Amino acid sequence: MFYTIKELVDQAETQFKGNVAELMLATETELTGRTREDNITIMERNLEVMLSSVDKGLTNSKSLSGLTGGDAVKMDDYIKSGKGLSDTTILTAVRNAMAVNELNAKMGLVCATPTAGSAGCLPAVLSTATEKLNLTHEEQVNFLFTAGAFGLVIANNASISGAEGGCQAEVGSASAMAAAALTIAAGGTAYQASQAIAFVIKNMLGLICDPVAGLVEVPCVKRNALGSSFAFIAADMALAGIDSQIPTDEVIEAMYQVGKAMPTAFKETAEGGLAATPTGKAHMKAIFGG
């Protein structure tokens, strides 16, 4: 069992030849009492739901509130136009993340990774990486176990809850998990994956959770999109050999402390930030009355 990122990296290197997925599998087996095969089967089901959510979310239909829906299709059309300023890989991840979160807003089936509000980041990065890197089914499953390993440390030492730590704890954690798994999928080391996590979280510190009308739609869908792009940039930085000057475990501790200090209005209460703008309040009134 590992409790810090440093322990995770050390154990992966010394006990599993750098294979974080195998370390997480062993940890899952120890903690749950399930067999290795059972844990793989469960993760395969998660993978199935994630990939399906990307496909099913790519529609023009709106959510019940009318706040979201159709933006993933707009991004898809934009990618096909060939006019994109960003690399197609990045835009594909952005599209896929919005598709998943738009599906979530329409009560479709998603895999909370680590939460429903941040469910778009990991599937978006994984599905895009699969196309970019030609990942096999086994490598895709390992991607998820790797992300889970790093996410376990973040959850135990900081938070993955917007109600507790703001959106830095939701989309920040999801994007960081995706960045770490992507780094390893692209041939990086466990240490490099840990640096990718630091890059993401450092640049999302203080991100508030301010859902308009209290719904997981605005700004959540777009934050997942941007979080997915962060994962790719952070992975590239780590693979380039760039190091974080602040150790990753200290970065995670900083996120925890920032979350503790964050006012309640910025923790999923819909009392601050975008939710408190005149338009945000108007949406609340239009949807719920009063």
Burial 272-290 (b: 16+ CB within 10 A, else e): bbebbeeebeebbeebeee
Distance CA 172, CA 230 (A): 9
Span 62-82, average pLDDT? 98
**Could you state, in order of their start, the residue ranges of all structural domains in the chain?**
5-288
Percent of the chain predicted with pLDDT > 70? 100
The pLDDT tens digits of the residues spanning 161-192 come to 999 999 999 999 999 999 999 999 999 999 99
Average per-residue pLDDT in the chain? Answer: 98
Which two tokens mark 97?
């993340």
Query: What backbone torsions phi and psi does residue 209 show, to the nearest 5 degrees?
Result: -110, 110
Q: Is the pLDDT of residue 247 over 70?
A: yes
Cα of 185 vs its chain's centroid, Å: 16
CA pair distance 219, 222, nearest whole angstrom: 6
Residue 240 DSSP SS3: coil
What percent of the chain clears pLDDT 90, i.e. is strictly above it? 99
Is 164 exposed, middle or buried, given 0-12, 13-18 or 19+ CB atoms closer than 10 A?
A: middle
User: Is a pLDDT exceeding 70 seen at residue 248?
Assistant: yes
Is residue 266 over pLDDT 80? yes
Per residue in 47-59, pLDDT (tens digit) is: 999 999 999 999 9
Q: What are 198-226's pLDDT values in tens digits?
A: 999 999 999 999 999 999 999 999 999 99
Give me the numbers of helices (H) and strands (E) for the chain, helices first please: 13, 0
Q: Which CATH number fits domain 5-288: 2.20.25, 1.10.4100, 1.20.1050, 3.30.2010?
A: 1.10.4100
pLDDT at 286: 96
| Res. 2 pLDDT band, cuts 50 70 90 | very high
Q: Is the pLDDT of residue 111 over 90?
A: yes
Integer Cα distance of 97 and 125 in angstroms = 8
Cβ atoms 209, 167 nearer than 8 A: yes
Q: How many whole angstroms from its chain centre is CA 127? A: 13
The Cα–Cα gap between 115 and 162 comes to: 9
Mean pLDDT of 132-145: 98
pLDDT score, position 290: 66
81-104 pLDDT per residue, tens: 999 999 999 999 999 999 999 999
Average pLDDT estimate for 282-286: 97
Bridge partners, 209 (sequence order): 267
Angle formed by the axes of helices 121-133 and 36-57, nearest 10°? 90
What DSSP character marks residue 209? B
- CB neighbour burial string for 197-230, b if at least 16 within 10 angstroms, e if fewer: bbbbbbebeebbbbbbbebbbbbbbbbbbebbbb
Report pLDDT for 81.
98
Angle subtended at Cα 144 by Cα 141 and Cα 150, rounded to the nearest 5 degrees: 145
Q: Which of 156, 146, 228, 221 is nearest to 189 (CA)?
A: 146
Mean pLDDT over 119-140 rounds to 98
